[in-house]
Structure 1
Amino acid sequence: MKQLFVNRHSELAFLEKRFSNPNPEFLVIYGRRRVGKSCLLSKFSKNKSCIYFLCTKDSERENINRMKSKMANLLGSPMFEKLEIDNWIELFKYFFEFYDGTKKIVFIFDEFPYLIELKRGITSVFQHIWDEMLSSKNVMLILTGSSIGMMETEVLGYHSPLYGRRTGQWKVTEVGLEYFPEFLPKYSMEDICRVYGVVGGIPAYLGKFDADASFFENMAERFIKKGEFLNVEPELLLKAEFREEKNYFLILKALALGHNTNAKVVAYTGLEKGNISKYLHVLENLMIVRHILPIGKHRGGIYIIEDPLFAFWFKFIYPNRDDIELENYDAVAAKIKMDFPSYMGHRFELLCEDLIRKHHFVLPITPTTIGKWWHREEEIDIIARDEENLGILFCEVKWKNLGKNETLKLFESLKKKSALVKWRNDGRKEYYSVIAKKINGKKELADMGYFVYDLDDFK
């Protein structure tokens, strides 16, 4: 088990190119927690004059004092650390009075949203620091954050005081399915999909798997046993992120049990409706929860736990914590193995939707809109629309092996449901697809005009 540096060549090249620019640089690097931002910046900052600063939720003064200590260390000046400084502007002003070097300095503020939470006006402060000092210095300022929503609104957004100052930005995303074999070279595509279903493409989690153990052996050792990193990771993240973690626990438990609308979450938790909306919005910003609307609709949506680790943990680990505490590991493992195919059915849908968005499959259309559709008792797993050419693809996803006749029945059902989907019904061109673990008779089905994909097409 090790932390591999996988699929970050583009990000590193971007950072190095910006660093080599003789002009000052102001970059925003963001992405969900554990996706590898800090690892990326650590690798980039090697052999550079760099101050890496991890922002905390302590007081603003505590953050300033820690940054002052790091600056003093880079300057090699104990006198600097003894200065009485109580604001960020003074801190940078005095730093450049002491600094007489010529090398480009990299300032990295990791988890910058924590400073925003401490002081809402901090973006105006950093605007002043950039405009009045850093923009004329040989520096590279990097702000990073895991709260996607906060970074996009408070740092990148049009109304942010920092708007127009940045010279570049990069959203660090999960590693793609094609890179999983670098972590787990002996795994079949079916097992790789299972891994994706429980941890997604998060390098910090993929590195916890034992490449020589089977998927379910890893499940038993890395997720179920007390003291293991993945056994407590979601709980620790919630406690670290939120002061009201009990309420977030309640909401995520409700979603895991299928209470997937605002009203249902309110009824299950007993929390105020206004508070529920606020909590859900925060969870969306952290990419833990996702709000899904039926494609083409503006209301009637549902909430799901989007983050695979949180989804798995609240489905299987949290409800079985009593047995885990008593070390009844085999009993918990048996429960998970029994219910896992049902759980994977939903996660496989999300994986297939993601692969369609990334144009992994050869499709008859170039999708401009992709989503799920439901109406009353009817549901279609994925619909992809080509708004320009009026093409529409209806797709059914199954985490199972399918015979030719079973697949044909799915296509017949899809055709009936597609008539209920109101979108350019008079002029659209319709296509039908099934994605499954294994589909027998793929060539014959393709010759009939259907689009069929199984795990052989995931490689």
Structure 2
Amino acid sequence: MIQPFVNREQELDFLNKKYAENSAQMIVLYGKRRIGKTELIKKFIEDKDGTYILCTNDSTEENIKEMKDKFADLTGKEYFRDIDVSSFYSLYKHFSEEIGNRNAVIAIDEFPYLIELNRGVVSVFQKIWDELLIDRNLFLIICGSSMGMMETEVLGYKSPLYGRRTGEWNVSPMSFKHLKYFYPVYEKSDLFCLWAICGGIPFYLQKLDGSLTVEENIKKKILRKGEVLYNEPGVLLREEFREPKTYTLILKYLSLGYNKQGELSSVTGIEKGNLSKYLSVLENLRFIEYILPLGRKKGGIYEINDQFFRFWFRFVYPNLSDLEMGLIDEVYSRISPQLNAYYGKQFERLVIEQIKTKEVPLPFTFTDVRPWWHKENEIDAVVTNPENRDILFVECKWKNLDKIDAGRILSGLEKKSGSVQWNNESRKEHFALFAKKVEEKETLREMGYIVFDLDDI
């Protein structure tokens, strides 16, 4: 389905303000694949003098040829297509002389592909910037999806481009509130279910159909062989890794709840030393994250850091054999009883995201938001401010609650909070409940509790 350009006001405002400075700019844009970087760039340059260049991993020569064609279109000089150059520097030397002082945008997307072909290309672009572009009125965008490579080879302290950039932006998933622009007829609970499946990734959301129910979308757009989302994580893993088998195995068991390194080592058969290396790679590429509970410096857990990857590895990957045979209804009948528990866990993630991004008002400013657990006790989120000694304990429930149920949950939360070791003698305690629906919210708020349901998010 074709969707309008949604949100990205902050990103566009940042880019336009840098453009308005009317001086040479090197802007680094990066973010996970499918997150909408390309559409952001195209939206930014649609009313400007500029060109968009998509790099490939074919060969350096092919990328130079692509840039020659783009420069010919931008300058109106056909000789660029036939110019005999074998290096980026030589090409940009001709281009800088031809472009003069025009205020033009050059957007180079998937820059890491150039690095894969020749790691020295970063030094080449340092020289291009220092000797050819810095005194021009050009707006250079360097964009990439390989998070690890962008952060080390482009943004890192040891990168030849370090200190050259005039701005950078890590493009994040869209927030939950923007899903309504994709699916305006959906109820908020259904919008949450879509978020739990796709997160805020525009590419995934655009592959679903707003005329279908959530269940129908799962069946027809995710579980059906041949659809784009049917094997999307497998495609992305093959793009990142030549041999994705081991990484796929790790992600599979993470989705099933084997979150500690020792558990993963036992279930996958991967020796702990080697497993650490694989986990480090997945973490650097933002496929997974390491979560430490409040007050702990070790003993954390690993979790998949992408909603759709989490859903796909939990419900699609284990059933691929049946899905290949077209047994969609049979597979859905197996996963359907597990979906509510899955949504419940994702509701916890949404609440933490909403707190971190200050989408919900809290009675104090804070510096940290993280879960807490110890033995059998667990609190979904704890929000702290060490300076003021404020602490908020948060319980999340993906269900409809009446006043009695809500009160019982809050009482249990107060009891569990006593086990949390954090400035126990002087802290100011607050208690919050987030749920799908809470009856008599105002009454509970008058009692001093912080209460939100889906209508407030």
| Superposed pair shares fold, TM > 0.5 | yes
Give, in angstroms, the shift of residue 362 of structure 1.
Answer: 2.3
The CA distance in 1 between the partners of 2:364 and 2:9, in whole Å, is 30
Question: Does the 8 A contact of 1:3 with 1:204 survive in 2?
Answer: no
Give, in angstroms, the shift of residue 333 of structure 1.
Answer: 2.0
- The unaligned stretches of length 5 or more in structure 2 are none
Give, in angstroms, the shift of residue 222 of structure 1.
Answer: 0.9
Distance 1:268 1:67, change over 3 A: farther
Question: Does the 8 A contact of 2:100 with 2:136 survive in 1?
Answer: no
Question: Does the 8 A contact of 1:29 with 1:145 survive in 2?
Answer: yes
- Report whether the alignment pairs 1:242 with 2:213: no
Give, in angstroms, the shift of residue 41 of structure 1.
Answer: 0.9
The CA distance in 2 between the partners of 1:110 and 1:145, in whole Å, is 6
Q: Match for residue 164 of structure 2? A: 165
- Report whether the alignment pairs 1:44 with 2:37: no
Q: Match for residue 198 of structure 1? A: 197
SS of alignment partner, residue 133 of structure 1: helix
The CA distance in 1 between the partners of 2:365 and 2:75, in whole Å, is 55
The one-letter amino acid paired with 1:375 is: H
Give, in angstroms, the shift of residue 82 of structure 1.
Answer: 4.2
The one-letter amino acid paired with 2:28 is: V
User: 1:424-443 to 2 correspondence within 5 Å?
Assistant: 424-443=423-442
The CA distance in 1 between the partners of 2:193 and 2:172, in whole Å, is 19
User: 1:72-151 to 2 correspondence within 5 Å?
Assistant: 72-76=72-76, 79-97=79-97, 99=98, 102-151=101-150
SS of alignment partner, residue 109 of structure 1: strand
Q: Which moved more, 1:421-430 or 1:408-417?
A: 408-417
SS of alignment partner, residue 299 of structure 1: coil
- The Cα RMSD (Å) is 2.1
Q: Match for residue 60 of structure 1? A: 60
The CA distance in 1 between the partners of 2:412 and 2:246, in whole Å, is 41
Question: Does the 8 A contact of 1:394 with 1:432 survive in 2?
Answer: yes
- Report whether the alignment pairs 1:348 with 2:347: yes
- Report whether the alignment pairs 1:327 with 2:326: yes
| Post-superposition CA distance 1:156-180 (Å, at most 9, x none) | 2333322221112222222222221
Give, in angstroms, the shift of residue 47 of structure 1.
Answer: 5.0
Question: Does the 8 A contact of 1:30 with 1:148 survive in 2?
Answer: yes
The CA distance in 1 between the partners of 2:363 and 2:47, in whole Å, is 49
The CA distance in 2 between the partners of 1:388 and 1:117, in whole Å, is 46
Percent of pairs with identical residues: 47
User: 1:245-260 to 2 correspondence within 5 Å?
Assistant: 245-260=244-259
SS of alignment partner, residue 136 of structure 1: coil
The one-letter amino acid paired with 2:151 is: E
Question: Does the 8 A contact of 2:26 with 2:165 survive in 1?
Answer: yes
Using the size of structure 1 for normalisation, the TM-score is 0.93
Question: Does the 8 A contact of 2:438 with 2:452 survive in 1?
Answer: yes
The CA distance in 2 between the partners of 1:125 and 1:106, in whole Å, is 19
Give, in angstroms, the shift of residue 302 of structure 1.
Answer: 0.7
Give, in angstroms, the shift of residue 347 of structure 1.
Answer: 0.7
| Post-superposition CA distance 1:372-413 (Å, at most 9, x none) | 111122211100001221100011111112232322232232
The one-letter amino acid paired with 1:163 is: Y
- Report whether the alignment pairs 1:230 with 2:229: yes
The CA distance in 2 between the partners of 1:133 and 1:296, in whole Å, is 51
SS of alignment partner, residue 32 of structure 1: coil
User: 1:207-222 to 2 correspondence within 5 Å?
Assistant: 207-222=206-221
The CA distance in 2 between the partners of 1:110 and 1:195, in whole Å, is 29
User: 1:7-22 to 2 correspondence within 5 Å?
Assistant: 7-22=7-22
The CA distance in 1 between the partners of 2:80 and 2:361, in whole Å, is 61
Give, in angstroms, the shift of residue 277 of structure 1.
Answer: 2.7
Question: Does the 8 A contact of 1:147 with 1:285 survive in 2?
Answer: no
| Post-superposition CA distance 1:99-120 (Å, at most 9, x none) | 2555323221112223333333
Give, in angstroms, the shift of residue 352 of structure 1.
Answer: 0.4
User: 1:301-340 to 2 correspondence within 5 Å?
Assistant: 301-340=300-339
Question: Does the 8 A contact of 2:96 with 2:133 survive in 1?
Answer: no
The one-letter amino acid paired with 2:29 is: I
The one-letter amino acid paired with 2:236 is: L
| Post-superposition CA distance 1:341-392 (Å, at most 9, x none) | 0111111110000001122222222221000111122211100001221100
The CA distance in 1 between the partners of 2:5 and 2:277, in whole Å, is 36
Give, in angstroms, the shift of residue 30 of structure 1.
Answer: 1.6
The one-letter amino acid paired with 1:178 is: K
Distance 1:116 1:267, change over 3 A: farther
SS of alignment partner, residue 394 of structure 2: strand
Aligned length: 457
Question: Does the 8 A contact of 1:195 with 1:215 survive in 2?
Answer: yes
User: 1:414-425 to 2 correspondence within 5 Å?
Assistant: 414-425=413-424
The CA distance in 2 between the partners of 1:117 and 1:300, in whole Å, is 36
The CA distance in 2 between the partners of 1:352 and 1:150, in whole Å, is 31
Question: Does the 8 A contact of 1:146 with 1:286 survive in 2?
Answer: no
Give, in angstroms, the shift of residue 425 of structure 1.
Answer: 1.1
The one-letter amino acid paired with 2:253 is: A
| Post-superposition CA distance 1:2-51 (Å, at most 9, x none) | 23201123322332333343311111112221111101111222254433
The CA distance in 2 between the partners of 1:83 and 1:269, in whole Å, is 54
Q: Match for residue 267 of structure 2? A: 268
